[in-house]
Structure 1
Amino acid sequence: MKHRKSVLSAAIVTCLVLSAHVQAQEAQDTAQATELDTVVVTGIRGSTEKSLDTKREANSRVEVVTAEDVGKLPAHNVADTLQRLPGVNISSSSADEGGFDEADRVSLRGTSPSLTQTLINGHSVGSADWFVLSQGNNVGRSVSYTLLPSELVSSVEVHKSSQAKLQDGGTTGTVNIITRKPLEFAKQVTAEASIGAVRSDQAKSNDPQLSALFNYKNDDGTFGVMVQAFSQKRELRREAQEVPGGFFQIGADDGAAATHPDLVGVWAPGLLGSTLFEQTRERKGGLIELQFKPNDDLTLGLSGFRSDMDANNYNRNFMLWGGNFARAHAPDAGYVVKDGVLAEATYTGVPGQDYAVYDMIYREATAKSSYVTLDADWQINDNLVSKFQAGSTKGEGSTPRQFIAEVTLANGGGASWNSHGNSAPLDWTVGGDITPAGVTSFGTWGNQQVTAKDEEQWFTADFSHYFNSGALSSIDFGARYADHEREALSPEGASPGDIWSELQNGATRPYPGGFASNIGGQFPRNLWYFTPAAMKEAVLNNSTWLSDDDGPTGRHNYGGEWKVAEKNLAAYVQANFVGDRWSGNLGLRYVSVDQDIDTYQSVSDPANADVSSLFGQWIRLFTNNKHSRVLPSANLKFELADDLVFRFAASQTQTLPDYSALGASSWGSDLNKTGGGGNPNLKPVLSTNFDANVEWYFMPRGLLSVGAYSMNLKDYVAFGTETRQLFSELTNQLEDYLVSVPVNSNGKVTGVEVAYEQPIGDNFGISANYTYADGSTSHTWADGSNNLVGTSKNTYNVGAYFENDAFGARVSYTHRSAFLIGLSGANPYYQDDFGTLSAALSYKVNDHLSFTLDALNLNDPSITYYQSATIPTAFYSNGRQYYLNMRLKF
């Protein structure tokens, strides 16, 4: 660490010496403004030009995306738009819910999404997720983009190099989503509406997409109000083969090893699933912006945003239960072990042995995000300007009801599988009766309320003092205070009664025709499931809802509860310089964090317990951490020629560990005896960053840039495993579970970025970019690797467009190579290479009416996860989506 500090300090000292030398030689009047040619271009070409102009004029490393018009980003989804920028990666999930058809998380330069900070108009936004594990056990610091419709966005800035005045929290960078402001509109009254529908190809569903905007400002431009509203619905259907928890190793004490010792240490599938997931997402909300300018020196603003999403979902997973029978007895003669994996095996049925388990999980779920801010921009005098902001933001994800059936099947029927490595699904079968009549046992778990709350209140005061001569053009300084809380709650649930007597006669439906045909493989597809209504009625009619008031017999799941409270005080000073064909800034940001962590730990002796319920006995644990640090930053920009720019940046940045990594109580799955837990003693991740880039603006709307970067990550958070005693709902006692636990490690990422933008004539254009990232950590995972979470070695994007006064067309393809997701159970797992093709068409009838068609996932890609080269984890198919909209302007 001392070496890293000395390297960065040397770089910043060099920058200071250079700036002083240039100042002494070439002092000039920095108040002189740079005059830029004004070119009025609209549509795709206009947004490209504006984005490149903003990037070129910035002193730091910034990528910019500008919306052509309301709701007209280069892609329908904000995260999908960002993935087309160099160095930006996206993922479609935040925990173990698997891959979907829509981007949900954004990360920079081959790192975890938690190390990338997302802001709206420069401030935090409370976020939470619809998926139950992301609400409780796997909670990062990233923001869910599914709550942020593209209609809200005026532009998006991606800050790759740090500045002292930027809010701390983004180790690898910051994404700032900028909304429109009332006084920025050209007309006194603006009204727009979008009426359309989305076609989800695989779900065979057409759903409405509505949005509207109204803006008014008075003649004097001293008062304005903007109102935006949206109501959007979408049906999803995902078809898959899953291997929940990955493969397990046959142990020396297992029954199979007693007769076949050659199987000891061999990997076998614990569960092989034929998985159907369906969901309805309904997103509603809006944005209100008020601006009042009582005089030329003062502008006041009030902003309010809310986005609510109902996300009820039904997951059915019919599974070969290898963890049940493959431990108990050996396969028939002729089995094949390849590279330590039981690749081919057939098991003759043993009476009384269940070979399949079937989980049907219907969940009511919601996710919400909102904020309110009050701003004041005050020009105190000719040389001093200030901005004050106070705000509050909240996010909430909730699963108030879970209706769950777990049945065992295929009694005595036997099973088989044949693995083809990680590139194709396993072929597998189970014998016996797999109809509802063949159910041998019924069980349920959950029915437990889970709620995640994310709240922050903050105040900022920022000042800029400008100078009229010399290379020192201005000094920025200010302070920020924030009080942030993130907690998971699981206070009540239903105590199940005789659900099966009613459910076994409930309505059923078959899996859809052609199920999972896109992913291949031979496995059960002609399956049945209980309807959501049958599940819900049987559970509600035969369960007793118990809460905290029921005392120790209640279903208060203390093991699913935790809270992280953080008070963050920051102050900064940043000096900005301008010289003859050069500019830059140097700054320091002081950050002090006071962190309180509340969690619970299982105990076996009730006499030692602080609280108890049907989920066992628990003691409360409290941890307080204090972290303070000075974070330096430097950015330099040199105009080597009229069209050639060189940039260099150095900084230290910090991100606190994920909320669940700090606070989560230990939890486990009874099916495979694995789980996870938190570590309240984790240290913040500190990154020492260097960045250099050359940009050649060879023509209007044309750019060729090449850059390199490095990030040394101290106290990077990885995951180890250990055995912990956790409460089992199956045995009602403490059992041994193999639990994944976060630990501090070190890591590094180095990479190269290349970007190219080229207009062709007046109407055509092409773009391409490529990012190489080499990431590693000093932590050794269970598979022996040293991979960094989120690092794709190769990411590239290519695109082309055509546009005239009436018609526009754009096509783009994006690809990222395999990367480590995290742990599935106790095993590392990866997402394989993934590429997606999208296209957009637009037709402008006149100034008041236009039509757009956006097509996503045109290549109908499969999303593949794997544990190793020989062990797959999941294969997902989501289908294509088409968005058709009619846009009206008044």
Structure 2
Amino acid sequence: MNTRKTLLSAAIVSCLAFSAHAQQAPQTATDLDTVQVTGIRGSMEKSLDTKRESNARVEVVTAEDVGKLPAHNVADTLQRLPGVNISSSSADEGGFDEADRVSLRGTSPSLTQTLINGHTVASADWFVLSQGNNVGRSVSYSLLPSELVSSVEVNKSSQAKLQDGGTTGTVNIITRKPLEFAKQFTAEGSIGAVYSDQAKSTDPQLSALFNYKNDEGNFGVMVQAFSQKRELRREAQEIPGGFFTITSKDPVAQTNPDLVGVKVPGLLGSTLFEQTRKRNGGLISLQFKPNDSLTLGLNGFTSELKANNYNRNFMMFGNSFAKNQAPNPGYVVKDGVLTNATYAGKPGTDYAVYDMIYRESTAKTNYITFDADWQINDNLVSKFQAGSTKGTGETPRQYIAEVTVANGGGASWATHGNGSPIDWNVGGDISPNGVTSFGTWGNQQVTAEDKEKWANLDFTQYFNSAGPLTSIDFGARYADHKREALSPEGATPGNIWAALKGSATGNYPSGFAGDIGGTFPRNLWYYTPGALKNAVTNNSTWLSGNDGPTGRHNYGAEWKVTEKNFAAYVQSNFAGDGWSGNFGLRYVNIKQDIDTYATATGSTVPDVSSLFGAWTRQAFENKHNRVLPSANLKFDLRDDLVLRFAASQTQTLPDFSALGASSWGSDLNKTGGGGNPKLKPVVSTNFDANLEWYFMPRGLLSIGAYSMRLKDYVAFSTEKQMLFSELTNKLEEYDISRPKNADGKVRGIEVAYEQPIGEYFGVNANYTYANGSTSHTWADGTDNLLGTSKNTYNVGAYFENETFGARVSYTRRSSFLIGLSGANPYYQDDFGTLSASLSYKATEWLSVSLDALNLNNPTYKYYQTAAIPTSFYSNGRQYYLNFRFKY
């Protein structure tokens, strides 16, 4: 059966970066005006048409209308594609209710490149650790609302003309353009609300689009704006820092030698996190065609996420007593873990510590681009683009109280493996009246800046000869990128406790963490954010580096990575009877300058010093030159059967913090991390094969296999290092995890199936198997790759007629290695999410939709080993009700 192809999909395909069939005249904006396809069925058809016509391995998601992706979040939409994984956190902040990072084919998000309209977008994060010590190359999708999207392309196989940087692939988010709209004037908007059932909050969601183009169709302007608010509440049990090991030097070893080498929970936390997210921004796009052969464009985008957050963690303080005090007789040790223990109350010992951390954080990104598309003659087309982008993540103030309670009350716990929370309790007075000591830390400014300026010039030469060579793409790109972490100012605390004591308090919500299970303290109090902020602000002295060695300029948290990237490419496109393809070479020349600090030890004369210690400045330079080949072949075996092969080499530079971060440490377990400026880029040799059967309109069955050999993959090893301890005011020995190059590999299989059932129903499903390993051996004896889930699958179904639409989908991902917690590897366990949507077209200009996310209310589980859990998170469900208007 022949596959039906719409006029719109043909026009889109012909404009897709000069495909192999580009000897025909490219479609114009006028052609795009003639057809408008909407709805679930229309968007699926457009996506499959684009996928089929492309010469390379491409997955496509097309928005049905403004803000109407198949999910509320762009990353949530992409996770339903074969070979795509998502994660809901950027560092060690744990899982949330919204997808934030995208990765491909069982690898870490840093190896996947995200672009907007083919260019870089600077990234920023609201979480303080992602602003400083844990900075990757992935993009935060929390700054990219779905209202921006016309379509999203996931390039799984490389082409020479694609921007380098995505070892495992590239995600390209395509926005709308003014001259593509059908009518002279278009106005669209949505008014809605989101209800978060765990936060018990209803918040507004607003967006609008206005587009105008003149009668001649040679000038257009589009303006989009969005303003969205959402309340989050996460209820959890956390074990910060994991378990520690009792040593022969600890006092308890003298009375209980059988405990030497046994792992014990250092902290067991009852954790309440609340956050208000306010996202505001917009996009403006102008297009002008002074003549039929030249189109000029100017685009600007900005998005700001205000993400004030308050984390309360009431914790059993195992580090305080388990090294010194013997548990009562009858304790149980299993598989090297103290799984069941009770400690009698000992006067003068604090059995619990309580951290209350309020942060006022922001993340924002913007870009501006100028484009010029010039049809030089019938056979030569050029495109020029120049632009700049900037992302900033900032936590200017942190308001923190750390108090000890439960003095002399004793403690107990019982573990149940990594799948269930730990049952634990402490005795004694845990109310505000039971506070025995007060401390504050971390009220330090943290700022991250990400900037890039670039220019690229691309050409396509078409050939009308009878030979197989149809066109040649060639061009060059230059980019200047800088990523910097800053911490120039902080507060020296005064008598904060006197001001805070007796201030306003609140209580944990009723039914707290009921979905998680387990038995642990739930009826808890906390100081309100306002009380905490006032006490810290009014009783602290804010100091900067200008105050000399008495200032709180944290040089050890500062670093800068500057990269100058020049690339040039040539790509030949071929076509014959029933086949097409391309072959190309991309030359990449990169110069890196890395500026960082090292702790001054021994007789070393420091360059700078402050209350955080003394440091010497360090500067490093790296140069990388490489030619990256790529080839794609497509065979139309029948009208409905396509076979593809692809081979390439791709490259991604190491994470910014992996290159630049200074060594840092936590006094709790004497562990920490740091960078390695001598890291080499990750280079992957990739092979890909896929068979696609388009057995009916909107119908597809495909199966493929892929292989990636990762040279100089980035893993982590642990070493001893002397660092300055703010707690003891002297140098101490820490176990520092540091990145290193190691080889790796991933091999996998992808299966996808889509089929309409009758006129109104349809189903879709896909499955991805990924088997990844590295030559590096982690501390737990494994050879896992970061981010590799062995099994991922998606199933869904839909119904749509002219008035009503409905969709339901379920996604599941198996466990994967996240990174290091201290010096220990830790993992996220299997998880699945269920979502559904309903839509009703009331009139030609009004439609109503209801989207429900996380309907199954999953508990996100993290662990170190089968016996040692790390955390359990519950985020609740979210319901989005929207009224959409069109004119």
CA distance in 1, matches of 2:21, 2:537: 75
1:829 corresponds to 2:832: no
CA distance in 1, matches of 2:253, 2:122: 51
CA distance in 2, matches of 1:266, 1:851: 58
Give yes or no for contact 1:29–1:468 (8 Å, CA) kept in 2: no
1:708 corresponds to 2:721: no
Partner of 2:651: 654
Partner of 1:365: 361
1:692 corresponds to 2:689: yes
Secondary structure, aligned partner of 1:53: helix
Q: Give how far 1:835 is off.
A: 0.2
Partner of 2:618: 621
Secondary structure, aligned partner of 2:322: helix
> 1:392-541 maps to which residues of 2 (within 5 A)?
392-469=388-465, 470-541=467-538
AA aligned to 2:450 is: D
Q: Give how far 1:41 is off.
A: 5.0
Partner of 1:547: 544
Give yes or no for contact 2:652–2:682 (8 Å, CA) kept in 1: yes
1:337 corresponds to 2:340: no
CA distance in 2, matches of 1:251, 1:757: 58
1:148 equivalent among 117, 130, 144 = 144
AA aligned to 2:735 is: L
1:386 equivalent among 377, 382, 385 = 382
CA distance in 2, matches of 1:166, 1:375: 17
CA distance in 2, matches of 1:258, 1:609: 42
1:198 corresponds to 2:188: no
Q: Give how far 1:252 is off.
A: 1.3
Q: Give how far 1:604 is off.
A: 3.8
2:636 equivalent among 636, 639, 656 = 639
1:43-67 deviation line (CA, Å, top 9, x unaligned)? 0000000000000000000000000
Give me the CA root mean square deviation: 1.5
Change (3 A) 1:791 1:123: same
Secondary structure, aligned partner of 1:380: strand
1:47 corresponds to 2:43: yes
Partner of 2:59: 63
1:389-447 deviation line (CA, Å, top 9, x unaligned)? 00000000000000001111111111111000001000001111111111111111111
Q: Give how far 1:612 is off.
A: 0.3
Partner of 1:3: none
Partner of 1:801: 798
CA distance in 2, matches of 1:196, 1:853: 10
1:121 equivalent among 104, 113, 117 = 117
CA distance in 2, matches of 1:790, 1:720: 17
The normalised TM-score by structure 2 is 0.96
AA aligned to 1:393 is: T
Q: Give how far 1:29 is off.
A: 10
Secondary structure, aligned partner of 1:70: coil
2:127 equivalent among 107, 114, 131 = 131
Partner of 1:850: 847
Give yes or no for contact 2:504–2:527 (8 Å, CA) kept in 1: yes
Give yes or no for contact 1:30–1:578 (8 Å, CA) kept in 2: no
AA aligned to 1:181 is: K
> 1:277-292 maps to which residues of 2 (within 5 A)?
277-292=273-288
AA aligned to 1:138 is: N
Change (3 A) 1:316 1:632: same
1:670 corresponds to 2:652: no
Partner of 1:790: 787
CA distance in 2, matches of 1:433, 1:671: 24
Aligned residues: 863
The alignment-based identity, stated in percent, is 79
CA distance in 2, matches of 1:325, 1:317: 18
CA distance in 1, matches of 2:569, 2:246: 56
1:845-889 deviation line (CA, Å, top 9, x unaligned)? 111111010000000110000001010000000000000000111
AA aligned to 1:210 is: L
Q: Give how far 1:329 is off.
A: 2.2
- Of 545-554 and 164-173, more deviation after overlay is shown by 545-554
Partner of 1:260: 256
CA distance in 2, matches of 1:605, 1:783: 34
Give yes or no for contact 2:38–2:65 (8 Å, CA) kept in 1: no
Secondary structure, aligned partner of 1:868: coil
CA distance in 2, matches of 1:584, 1:61: 11
- Of 108-117 and 431-440, more deviation after overlay is shown by 431-440
> 1:212-251 maps to which residues of 2 (within 5 A)?
212-251=208-247
The normalised TM-score by structure 1 is 0.96
> 1:738-817 maps to which residues of 2 (within 5 A)?
738-817=735-814
AA aligned to 1:177 is: I
Q: Give how far 1:751 is off.
A: 0.2
Give yes or no for contact 1:285–1:307 (8 Å, CA) kept in 2: yes
1:354 equivalent among 341, 344, 350 = 350
Q: Give how far 1:377 is off.
A: 0.2
Q: Give how far 1:607 is off.
A: 6.1
Give yes or no for contact 1:605–1:617 (8 Å, CA) kept in 2: no
CA distance in 2, matches of 1:30, 1:79: 31
CA distance in 1, matches of 2:37, 2:70: 16
CA distance in 2, matches of 1:624, 1:332: 57
> 1:28-107 maps to which residues of 2 (within 5 A)?
31=23, 41-107=37-103
CA distance in 2, matches of 1:30, 1:557: 56
Structure 1: which 5+ runs fail to align? 1-27
Give yes or no for contact 1:40–1:46 (8 Å, CA) kept in 2: no
- Of 547-556 and 793-802, more deviation after overlay is shown by 547-556
Q: Give how far 1:40 is off.
A: 7.0
1:154-201 deviation line (CA, Å, top 9, x unaligned)? 000000000000000000000000000000000000001100000011
CA distance in 2, matches of 1:273, 1:125: 37
AA aligned to 2:238 is: E
2:174 equivalent among 172, 178, 195 = 178
AA aligned to 1:173 is: G
1:164 corresponds to 2:163: no
1:525-577 deviation line (CA, Å, top 9, x unaligned)? 01110000110010011101111221110000001100000000000000000
Give yes or no for contact 1:645–1:694 (8 Å, CA) kept in 2: yes
AA aligned to 2:812 is: H
1:573 corresponds to 2:570: yes
CA distance in 1, matches of 2:737, 2:243: 15
Q: Give how far 1:258 is off.
A: 1.6
CA distance in 1, matches of 2:838, 2:161: 40
Change (3 A) 1:886 1:34: closer
CA distance in 2, matches of 1:258, 1:107: 49
Give yes or no for contact 2:21–2:575 (8 Å, CA) kept in 1: no
1:119-170 deviation line (CA, Å, top 9, x unaligned)? 0000000011000000000000000000000000000000000000000000
Give yes or no for contact 1:689–1:711 (8 Å, CA) kept in 2: yes
Change (3 A) 1:547 1:40: closer
1:583 corresponds to 2:593: no
1:322 equivalent among 318, 323, 339 = 318
Q: Give how far 1:39 is off.
A: 9.1
Secondary structure, aligned partner of 1:214: strand
Secondary structure, aligned partner of 1:355: strand
CA distance in 1, matches of 2:431, 2:720: 38
